[in-house]
A and B are shown apart, each in its own frame.
Chain A
Amino acid sequence: MNNAIEPITFENRNGRRLFGMLHTPAAKRSQYGLVILSPGIKSRVAPHRMYVKMAERFCAMGFVVLRVDPEGLGDSEGEIMEKWTADVYCSMELGRLVDDTVDTLDWMQQQTGCDRFILAGLCGGAITALLTADRDARVDAILSLGMTCILASSNIDPAKYLTTKQLDSIREKYLKKILNPEALLRFVTFKSDYRLLIKSLIAPLKKKPAPPPANPAPDDKDAAAAGGPMNSNLNPHFPKAFEKFISQNKILLIFSEADRLYWEFEEKYLQHYGDAIKPYQANYDIQIVADANHIFSFRKWQDEMLAISSQWLERHYG
């Protein structure tokens, strides 16, 4: 008997019909149900069908795997009303998809009998997994790809919260183009982003981060009280949820080396909260895929990501 795949639908708590795909192994080898969560707006399939490949791989290992489109995304009912994509991302980073994820676990428990879960996801899917785990004790583990720990917004200066590595990368690009006639033309015709240019050029001269403002923005106060960075776009829910989860459960964090999300996690979270999570080192595993970009475009990056994920699942939950 082969592994089975079937389209499924169910209603969420708002009465919207959600569409998904259930992968059932020929021989179930694990008590855990594995749910792969929507990465931002790219639905249950994900960039270059990454979730299809993951689901097939994990199903072949004996896991029941479910991929679902949340309300307003993919094929599901409902609508997202935000005007800007960054604001959609922000709403997800603040937990927009948590209710649908809990409803998904309810459905899966009822239909498959799995009552413990591993949540997996890229970017928006990863943060949704963490925020869901914060609310639902059935989540035992998280397989995170490119965890985002910041808040996106359409309403901020894109240069304001860049990491050191982002500034390094931008500076490198500017310097490479210094003799490029098109770039020079843009510079003298006021089409260049002068603030970003200057910020990237003076970044190496700054030995220490800028001092905190006298009156931190409201979102900064919680972070500051917890010993975190002020004047940062760190997701205020992230530090507590992350620490709480790893104090009792396991998480695999796979990052792409050339992804700003990795740089942000290091600079905005680990640098400030690293000491607080040290006691739980056995529960979190950070793996970096060399050179890879955010969506693991090249096949060798995909293969490495899949190999790391499978080995971790096999080791802990096989």
Chain B
Amino acid sequence: MQEKPFFFEDEAKRLFGILHLPPAPKPQGYVFCHPFAEEKLWSHRVFVNFARRLCRAGHPVLRFDYRGHGDSSGDFEDATVETRVADIQSAIDTLCAKVEGLAGVGLIGLRFGASLAALAAENDTRVNALVLWEPVVKGAQHIKEMLRINITTQTAVYKEVRYNTQALIEQMRAGQSVNIDGYEIKLPFYEQIAALDLTKTNGRFEGNVLAAQINKKAGLGMRRIQALEKAYPQITMIEVVEMPFWKEIREYYATADDLFARTLAWMEIE
């Protein structure tokens, strides 16, 4: 197996990717779509190890960083939902160009990365499978949680909340950026993410979809992803038991055994 780090670029951007290439690639490839901000870093090894697992099974995989993330060029604050979706499409182009004979590409995303994968799949006929790990179904709730991180930082260092959620939104409306765990976001991104609603895709992606709700304990249900059932005609919904490895937790998470096993079973990979 080869793991080749490289940049792929056009006039607008230089994206960093790692191609996992098996000796005899099967015609089904995968592109991984990472989550937002620090969630990307906490979950990184899980992505690396799942990519290696798929590659061992013969599938070519491309992991990459959206512009403004990781080792890709650009500033985080200039990235929007649209640029991220465009970057996923560039990654699909790159995978198809680097691996001959691909019949289809599956998108695998975690959290906000899953939502971006869903959006990218809507208009791309090369995408034949969608794996949504703990997807952000409604962006409005997600961005509220993100803004709360700013408030938590204020409380921790200033011992008071100087700017509440509404004030932070007003700052963005006035043209400023707002800091979330060190990442600056601006109004266009805020508005796009707040408007995101995967239940309103009306089944535009008609291929196979796996949606996994990740719970700390078994039997907690699939309330967070339930609404997706009507949005996709070919959806399989599962509950998997893992700790929320995209956050700072006590456990060190390099693999997610239940999530891996259930996803591989759905993909019909031994």
Contact = CB atoms under 8 A, between A and B. Distances in A.
Contacts of B182: 47-50, 295-298, 302
A47 B252 contact: no
B250 A299 contact: no
B250 A48 contact: no
B251 A83 contact: yes
B189 interface: no
Nearest to A300: B179
Q: Which residue, A82, A298, A302, has most C-beta atoms of chain B within 10 A? A: A298
Interface stretch (A73-81, A209-217, A309-317): A73-81
Contacts of A79: 254
A48 B181 contact: yes
B41 A258 contact: no
Interface string A47-65: 1111010000000000000
A79 B48 CA distance: 11
Nearest to B154: A298
A86 B45 contact: no
Contacts of A297: 153, 179, 181-182
Nearest to B16: A7
Dominant SS among interface residues on chain B: mixed
Interface string B29-54: 00000000110010011001000000
B179 A298 contact: yes
Interface residues of B, number: 32
B181 A75 contact: no
B157 A258 contact: yes
A49 B248 CA distance: 17
A47 B69 contact: no
Contacts of B157: 257-258, 291-293
A154 interface: yes
Given A47-B38, A299-B184, A85 B153 contact: no
Nearest to A172: B159
B104 interface: no
A8 B248 CA distance: 29
The 5 closest A-B pairs by CB, nearest first: A48-B182, A7-B5, A258-B157, A297-B182, A85-B252
Interface of B: 3, 5-7, 16, 18, 37-38, 41, 44-45, 48, 69-71, 76, 153, 156-159, 179, 181-184, 248-252, 254
16 contacts: A5-B71, A7-B7, A43-B41, A43-B44, A47-B181, A48-B38, A49-B70, A49-B76, A50-B182, A83-B251, A84-B252, A257-B157, A291-B157, A293-B156, A297-B182, A299-B179
